Amino acid sequence: MPHDAIVIGAGVNGLAAALHLAATGWKVVVLERAEIAGGAVKTREITRPGFRHDLYAMNLSLFAGSPFFAAHRERLLAHGLAFVGAEQCFATAFPDGSWLGVEKNLEATANRIATLSATDAHRWRAMVADFAQDAPHIFALLSSPLPSWQALRAIYAAWRARGTTWVADTARLLLTSPREWLDENFENAKLKAMMAAWGMHLDFAPDCAGGALFPYLESMTNQSFGMALGQGGADTIVAAMVGAIEAAGGEVRLGAPVRGIAVESGVAKAVVLASGERIEAMRAVIANIHPRVLFGDLLAQPPAAAQRLTRLRPGPATMMIHLALGDLPAWNAGAELRRFAYVHLAPSFAAMAKTYTEALDGLLPEEPMLVVGQPTAIDPSRAPAGQHVLWVQVRVLPSRIRADAAGAISGSRWDDMKEAYANRVIAIIERYAPGLSANILGRAVLSPADLERDNPNLVEGDSLAGSHHLDQNFLFRPAFGWSRYRTPVAGLYMVGASTWPGAGTGVASGFMLAKMLAGA
């Protein structure tokens, strides 16, 4: 039976596109190769029964604040979506036993900063106050297709409200490196390191141009709004979207791998499943798929213009380590750290730059940057009473291993080396939180190779589905001329982290494309 739109891939952007189209009357089917929807947003019991781990994404703040959620709030809440707010958002622990963190209470954050620098505390307060006026204009641009009249209107509105100097300063922010921007605005090294860690969540070491925006936005949004986690797991947004799609008359088919896309006279006409079943598309085929997979695997004769899209360069790779714990880590820096959603172990610009350089050179970093997530400090329902899960993201790593920077681990295959490298990560955390190893009840390690096997969109273990450096961002994502979700095949569109505005749980690409297709 033909459908108005076929969505390939039940990642969050594909689901967002399907829900909006179904809600506007389109007949939609979503096809997913895996037995679980969600893409990089999945929650599973992979260590021990009763311990629910967010396999990849944990922070749902972008989704909670998105235009998509605002538009479909009641539908999603009716299908079980629930958030848990984190007042204590993120912190950095330092080797000297100190820490610095951001919580929603401005006075508490500013007072901590003031113990390091009164000047920086004053600047922080002023930046937070300005952010209340700046945020609507910045997010209006980030939620606009590029290029588009909508984006131009967002820039014009910002100019009318904030002036030429503000527009110029914001443009400069988009182009500068974390170190340059932080050095310009603050004086204390610990405060700057705490903020710069957010650049490493993407692929922005301290000296990478274009990386300043992320430390700024994450610091200010967490300070202003707190952080949002999914109640019971990040997959609450996935279950709610699937339920809402089906309630609107759409269909989500799991365990339905796609063999190819049928193109006739240059137009995408149908999708053929591995089973041989052919599903006709009357109006659109939407691929929530990395361009390498789309044009390398699903099109028998991809057009020559598609080569530009397939050159999208992966960023450095990621490892995930999931721990079931008898108790939260006993941080040297103090019990207060046990209340924070994220604890970063990235003590300086130098440490982050060293890790990044080693990874790009094919070396296992001697001491990687670690994001230690403590979701059960916020949402105890994810583990049995009194017990906890720990979410550890290891940034950044090589996809292909040439050697170990520390000279202690030999080999070249992640399958052979991941457990040994995970031991190094645990040992690093234990320096900051003694006794961690004795507290571990279960462990699961997902290497870069495991990430790509689970989700082919995570090419080479890059959890971001493509580097976000300036040559691959804004108008250049995934390639210049193709940033508005079209492809060189008529009727075939792309969404997902490989497209503007990139990685994250904000589902902007799926929602923007669906609005363009539906005209509303």
Q: Which two tokens stand for residue 22?
A: 């179904």
Q: Which two tokens stand for residue 483?
A: 């940033």
Identify whether 328 is part of a domain. yes
Identify whether 94 is part of a domain. no
Q: Of 191, 225, 259, which closes a domain?
A: 225
Beta strands in 88-236 (DSSP E): 88-93, 99-103, 227-230
Query: Contact at 8 Å (CB) between 460 and 451?
Result: no
Identify whether 90 is part of a domain. no
Q: What are the Cα distances from residue 122, in Å, to 30, 166, 214, 409?
A: 50, 20, 21, 46
Give the Cα separation of 241 and 18 in Å (integer): 9
105 alpha-carbon distance from chain centroid: 25
Q: Are residues 328 and 349 in the same domain?
A: yes
* Residues whose CB falls within 8 Å of the CB of residue 216, separated by 6 or more in sequence, listed in order: 173, 181, 195
Map tokens 């995408």 to a residue: 268
Q: Are residues 290 and 343 in the same domain?
A: no
Q: Of 454, 471, 487, which closes a domain?
A: 454
What pLDDT is recorded for position 68? 98
Identify whether 259 is part of a domain. yes
CATH number at 494 reads 3.50.50.60
* Residues whose CB falls within 8 Å of the CB of residue 260, separated by 6 or more in sequence, listed in order: 271, 272, 298, 299, 300
What pLDDT is recorded for position 345? 98
Give the Cα separation of 351 and 343 in Å (integer): 16
Coil vs helix vs strand at 39: coil
How many domains, the chain?
3
Q: Are residues 333 and 440 in the same domain?
A: yes
For 398, the domain range is 313-454
What pLDDT is recorded for position 1? 74
Q: Are residues 254 and 291 in the same domain?
A: yes
What is the pTM assigned to this prediction? 0.97
Q: Are residues 403 and 328 in the same domain?
A: yes
What pLDDT is recorded for position 336? 97
Identify whether 196 is part of a domain. yes
Give the Cα separation of 505 and 39 in Å (integer): 11
Nearest alpha carbon to residue 153 among 144, 165, 164, 163? 144
Q: Are residues 221 and 121 in the same domain?
A: yes
Q: Of 203, 225, 247, which closes a domain?
A: 225
Q: Are residues 211 and 247 in the same domain?
A: no
Residues of the chain falling short of pLDDT 70: none
114 alpha-carbon distance from chain centroid: 31
Identify whether 100 is part of a domain. no
Beta strands in 231-277 (DSSP E): 251-253, 258-264, 267-273
Q: Are residues 321 and 448 in the same domain?
A: yes
Q: Are residues 265 and 199 in the same domain?
A: no
Give the Cα separation of 56 and 34 in Å (integer): 16
Q: Are residues 157 and 218 in the same domain?
A: yes
Identify whether 324 is part of a domain. yes
Q: Are residues 449 and 466 in the same domain?
A: no
Identify whether 161 is part of a domain. yes
Q: Are residues 333 and 438 in the same domain?
A: yes
What pLDDT is recorded for position 151? 96
